[in-house]
Chain A
Amino acid sequence: MKNIKHIILANLVLIAMLVSGCSESSDTIQESQIDTSTPILSDLDVWLRSNFVSPYNIEISYLWGASNTDIARFLYPMNEGGVQRWSQTIKDTWIEPYNELGGDDFIAKITPRQIVYSGGFNYNPNSPTITLGIAEAGTRITFFNLDFLDYSDVNSIRRPLQTLHHEYAHILNQKFPFTDDYGLITPADYTAQWFNLTSQQALDLGFITPYASSQEGEDFVEIIATMLTTSKADFDAIVGSASPTGQAIIRQKQEIVVAYFQENFEIDLFELQELTYQALLESLD
């Protein structure tokens, strides 16, 4: 019994040595490695903070280096001089119409948290195409070729806005998926070689744009993007130029899209179309 006591005592001493003996480190909590200093803000930065960061929690990222993008692609940030006007344009043609119909905090609640501005074209390797915009994980939208906006040409402004509405619709779809029935309308005509279709061929097959034929998710958002960047009359004219079969298919798809907005957001898509198109016209010189 006495021996057992000695052994227990010896083991306790050893454990104590184990716990305390190796403690050579005198590390303490050090200063943070994260730069928390206040950045130098230009007038433009202040404007962006009060128009995007504060009300909508959206960061407009227009200052960036090669490491912030796909380094294999030759991209560069937008010219500073065009940032405020383009930001105002997307606020007028996207944020305000949605908020007007969906509620003041519609965009603040469902929104990409970062919008990136790129000045040049994003050319796709081994493909005769350029990428107009990217939506990543529902949190970030990147616009390309913004240095080439021409506010005297409605098509020049319409194109990136179509990208915006397209990418934002993807984000809405991530929150509220659309019905599987949509993909059953033209399942056999989706193709990875969408860029070989002319606009007319796409319309005749029941796709509002050639890119809509790439897959059902793109098809769905292309209807939205096209509607929200054209007047009702223009949209009807586009649909009217399709073959009878194509027209019937596009209208069937449009019905599902309109119902999707009504059921999930209580937004009348036709009313939204009026607001966004009017704002597009007002954004021009």
Chain B
Amino acid sequence: MKKIISYIFSLSILLVALNSCEVDRTESVFEDLPSVRIENEISELRTLLLAQSQGFSGVYFPNNSVVGGINFHMNFTPDLRVKITSDFKNDTSLTDTRYEIVTGTTAAELVFTTGSRHITDLVQDGAAGFNTFFGSNSFQYAGEENGVITFKDVRSDGIFELFPSGFSDFDTESVASANTTYSSRLAFTEVDCTTASVFDNLVMEVNNGGEVTNYILNYNADNIFFDAETTDAQGISARQGFGVAFTLIGGEQALSISPSLEVGEQSFKNFILDLNAPRTQYVATVNGVTATISNVTLASPSGAELNNDITLLESAFLYRPALGSNALTSSCFNTLVLDQISANLDAAFGAGAFTFTEFQFIFNFNSDACDNFLFTQITRTADGATFNAFYCFNRASVSNNRLFQEYTGPFGTGNGPLLEGVYAPLIDFFNNPAGTSSGMLYTNEDTFRSNTSSFPNISGTFTKMDNQALRVYGLFFG
């Protein structure tokens, strides 16, 4: 018995021994330890960054689901300093700050370790308080291909691609390039009031051999971002966001979007500025398919609301700058009417002596005895005293969903005649005689809202149809 137990014991030991010697057949995915791989990446990245004596250029999209891209130019030196410029703001002068290439969680990281405003303004806008562009100062090295070094932003997953700048004098050419792209961005929202229309809309049209897909683009200049909406043949709408970057591609002014627009099998990313187009237009051509971003004048609303809101119009329509601004008041109305009145006041009474504080239009559809009139008010800076003036129109009328009325002259003998020339742009805006003009388009905009206020009062817009650049938004009261 003892013998059997001893044999069983020995056999057990043997089994344990054999089992413990099992060869580990786990396959190694990587040849080196993670720390060694990251060390290699650090070395590789350092070599790449220092290989370009004239630095790199590239576009950084911090978060392409919310904001657009910024052009950067960077020149790295072995003493861990980097010169940087960008086109995020109008100050494109170079900063000279520090960088490091460090061991990140899973890869080498390029870290801008001291605060270059070109980097930190994207993290948190010092000038505007906590207004982040979702940027970071740490970028994970994702690899290099055909000279393009790709990084991933460790905070927002943004993409930052750098390629050799091609400059011969980094310090001057980088700043010049940033100035050019910054100007391109501003130009995109510039409005030519001689040709503009409030019914202009940015449209991205994809033409694939006659099959056209249109995207109506709502551009947010603060975030440099497109909100695109398209409607299919069944009338079903779809929305998509694109970060936008105004950049240079092969020396040409261009607009890049991120993510790319995918239409069928085509992918559109880079649009080149068409210098021959009469209005701003960017074009991308991929495999013979063309996508165009341009301003297109869309059909104006019918204006039928006017007929329903006649009673409402007989209360006072008020525009008062102190109530805040709304984009429905067109930039050309601001420029050609409001700013011009301010300039006229300055010319008549000295710079800053008076401020244009409000106007009202009281519509009347039954009387030609100056019951349909424009009320204006200015405030004297020195003591806050207000001065009113009234301008008469014959009765208002409605025809084909348009509002008509004709200016007849100032009321009384005081401020009205005195300030008639000052107020000429506003009087002209409301002067739309039946028979000789196209009238005014009215739209009901529900309750009042501006960048600083919101009130339950009904609000609306008036557009001068003979000069469709002019539209004003205000509220009704009384």
Contact = CB atoms under 8 A, between A and B. Distances in A.
Interface of A: 3-4, 7, 10-11, 14-15, 17-18, 21-22, 33, 35, 40, 42, 62-67, 71, 74-80, 119-121, 123, 147-148
Contact of A78 (B39, B100, B109, B114): B114
Interface stretch (B6-14, B159-167, B305-313): B6-14
Given A4-B6, A15-B13, A76-B119, 17 more contacts: A11-B10, A21-B21, A22-B20, A33-B33, A40-B80, A64-B113, A65-B100, A66-B137, A66-B155, A67-B105, A74-B134, A76-B120, A76-B137, A79-B114, A80-B98, A119-B120, A121-B129
Contact of A18 (B10, B17, B102, B126): B17
Contacts, number: 107
B289 interface: no
Given A11-B13, A78-B115, A63 B21 contact: no
B137 A77 contact: yes
Interface of B: 3, 6-7, 9-10, 13-14, 16-17, 20-21, 33, 35-36, 39, 79-80, 97-98, 100, 102-105, 109, 111-115, 117, 119-120, 123-124, 126, 129-130, 132, 134-138, 154-155
B6 A7 contact: yes
A80 B115 contact: yes
B114 A63 contact: yes
Contacts of A11: 9-10, 13
Contacts of B14: 14
Contacts of B132: 74
Contacts of A15: 13
Contacts of B79: 40
Given A14-B17, A65-B109, A67-B109, A76 B123 contact: yes
A15 B9 CA distance: 13
Nearest to B78: A40
A147 to B, nearest CB: 6
Contacts of A21: 17, 21
Contacts of A75: 123-124
Nearest to B24: A24
A77 B129 CA distance: 16
Contact of B136 (A3, A66, A119, A123): A66
17 contacts: A3-B6, A7-B7, A7-B9, A11-B13, A18-B20, A33-B35, A65-B100, A65-B109, A65-B112, A66-B154, A66-B155, A67-B138, A74-B123, A74-B130, A75-B124, A77-B137, A147-B120
B115 A147 contact: yes
A79 B118 CA distance: 12
A116 to B, nearest CB: 12
Between B7, B39, B111, B114, the greatest number of chain A beta carbons within 10 A of the residue's beta carbon is seen for: B114
A255 to B, nearest CB: 40
B126 A147 contact: yes
Q: Is the interface of B mostly helix, strand, loop or mixed?
A: mixed
Contacts of A119: 115, 120, 126
A185 B297 CA distance: 72
A4 B117 CA distance: 84
A63 B109 contact: no
B130 A121 contact: yes
Contacts of B100: 63, 65
B304 to A, nearest CB: 45
Given A14-B10, A18-B20, A76-B137, A121 B155 contact: no
Contacts of A35: 103
A63 B113 contact: yes
Contacts of A120: 120, 123-124, 126
Given A67-B104, A120-B120, A3 B3 contact: yes
A80 B114 contact: yes
Contacts of B102: 65
Nearest to B153: A66
A11 B21 CA distance: 17
A7 B10 contact: yes
A35 to B, nearest CB: 8
A42 B123 CA distance: 25
Contacts of A80: 97-98, 114-115
A15 B13 CA distance: 8
Contact of B17 (A17, A66, A67): A17
Contacts of A66: 111, 136-138, 154-155
Nearest to A23: B21
A114 B378 CA distance: 60
A2 to B, nearest CB: 11
Between B9, B115, B120, B154, the greatest number of chain A beta carbons within 10 A of the residue's beta carbon is seen for: B115
A121 B130 CA distance: 7
Contacts of B39: 33
B50 to A, nearest CB: 13
A20 B39 CA distance: 35
Contacts of B17: 14, 17-18, 21
Nearest to B100: A63
A121 B124 CA distance: 8
A18 B10 CA distance: 13
A-B residue pairs, 8 tightest by C-beta: A65-B111, A65-B138, A63-B113, A80-B114, A66-B138, A120-B124, A79-B115, A33-B35
B306 to A, nearest CB: 44
Given A11-B10, A40-B80, A63-B98, A76 B124 contact: yes
A62 B114 contact: yes
B391 to A, nearest CB: 47
A10 B13 CA distance: 10
Nearest to B13: A14
Nearest to A130: B130
